[in-house]
Structure 1
Amino acid sequence: MDGIESTRIIKEHWPGIQIMVLTTFQDESNIRQALQAGAEGYLLKSASIENMAQQIRTLASGSTVLDAEVLKTIMEPDYKSFDELTDRENDIVECVARGLSNQEIADDLFLSAGTVRNMLSVILDKLEIRDRTQLAIYYLQRNEE
């Protein structure tokens, strides 16, 4: 089993044990899963020995510990570029950012609503974005830069 599942099982049986995840994985999904499983800390193996020692002492004192890079990952996810999308997918993203429904996008782009829904799922997957609201916000922020 992996560390996340191990954390979940340990916390079920011994909830008082404090768990620090020490890993190379810095993606948002792993971080959130580890914390949801009950880990009180998440530290990257790339941290200096001095930093690791300090973080472990902090955890032992009862505080939650997140590596600075981990916190940055959670607060500012590193989304993929819109360059990875086809022209048609970018058209759909622009329509989502304008607040159009799937049916309105379908009407504007001469597609079926089902095709729009399927393409939107592909877009969210490619960009590793959770939902259309997050997609619209990200699109608008990127175009302001």
Structure 2
Amino acid sequence: MTEPAAGGPAPVRILVCDDHVVVRAGLLALLDSAPGIEVVGEAGTGEEALALAARLDPDVVLMDLQLGAGIDGVETTRRLTTGTPTAGTGRAPHVLVLTTYDTDADITRAIAAGATGYLLKAERPEELFAAIHAAARGRTALSGPVAGRVMANLRKPRPALTDRERDILAQLATGLGNREIARALFISEATVKTHLRRIYDKLGVDTRAGAVAVAKEQRLLP
């Protein structure tokens, strides 16, 4: 890491979260050569990232999405950005996703969880460095392919959901399971499952979390 000049801006403090030891080692070596960036810690799980962020006060958390056992990168991002601010700075860190996954559902979930940026691991080092500095200032940083997907989704017309599908989505967003949704809406569990399949098809997702994330992003929930 290049030391800041006397009287210059402080380096961006980075916490790296990735469950692959070799990947973390490569990132640490790469970031150590980056001007104006200081790695203050590394984590292999979401739970570890939360604990270290509270103690180390990073400006930016570099976050992988798939973290093996425990909470994933999306849930970790949500807790980092909406939880209690760190004691030292009085604010939550920005989260910059760095992953190999570029599906619409993954991108939507991460952004809905509060990620400031979304980069793919195939990016050039200088692009990563620039994104880190942008994220530290609260500016959005997206890989080219990711930005293209986001713009394409914004241009899509909103899915035409039926009133019943919207009701089920609203119940889904509260964390209810199929049986609880069926009871709340006075319908059968089989009917709930049928509506969920249609909702997934219309939203272009294949998970409950993905459906809720897309619904929130496209303001389909009441």
TM-score, normalising length from structure 2? 0.35
Q: 1:126 to 1:67 in 2, by over 3 A?
A: same
CA offset at residue 68 of structure 1? 1.5
State the alpha-carbon separation in 2 of the partners of residues 16 and 128 from structure 1. Answer: 32
Q: Which amino acid aligns with 1:24?
A: T
Please give the root-mean-square deviation of Cα atoms over the aligned residues, in Å.
Answer: 2.9
- Greater share of helix: 1
State the alpha-carbon separation in 1 of the partners of residues 134 and 79 from structure 2. Answer: 23
Q: Which residue of 1 aligns with 2:78?
A: 8
Q: Is the 8 A contact 2:84 2:92 kept in 1?
A: no
Helix, strand or coil: the match of 2:97?
A: strand
State the alpha-carbon separation in 1 of the partners of residues 107 and 79 from structure 2. Answer: 17
Helix, strand or coil: the match of 1:13?
A: coil
Q: 1:76 to 1:19 in 2, by over 3 A?
A: same
Query: 1:52-91 CA distances to partner (integer Å, 9 max, x unpaired)?
Result: 11111111122121112111112225xxxxxxxxxxxxxx
State the alpha-carbon separation in 2 of the partners of residues 127 and 66 from structure 1. Answer: 22
Q: Which amino acid aligns with 1:5?
A: E
Q: Which residue of 2 aligns with 1:72?
A: 148
State the alpha-carbon separation in 1 of the partners of residues 74 and 151 from structure 2. Answer: 21
**Residues 27-42 of structure 1: pairs in structure 2 closer than 5 A:** 27-42=103-118
CA offset at residue 127 of structure 1? 9.4
Q: 1:126 to 1:61 in 2, by over 3 A?
A: closer
CA offset at residue 27 of structure 1? 0.7
Q: Which residue of 1 aligns with 2:4?
A: none
Helix, strand or coil: the match of 1:72?
A: helix
Helix, strand or coil: the match of 2:94?
A: coil
* Structure 2, gaps ≥5 residues long: 1-70, 86-90, 154-193, 206-210, 212-222
Helix, strand or coil: the match of 2:76?
A: helix
Q: Which residue of 2 aligns with 1:53?
A: 129
**Residues 1-145 of structure 1: pairs in structure 2 closer than 5 A:** 1-11=71-81, 12-14=83-85, 16-76=92-152, 125=201, 128=204
CA offset at residue 9 of structure 1? 1.1
Q: Is the 8 A contact 2:96 2:116 kept in 1?
A: yes
Q: How many residues align?
A: 90
Q: 1:49 to 1:6 in 2, by over 3 A?
A: same
CA offset at residue 126 of structure 1? 9.5
Q: Is the 8 A contact 2:80 2:92 kept in 1?
A: no
Larger RCO (CA within 8 A; separation ≥ 6): 1
- Greater share of strand: 2
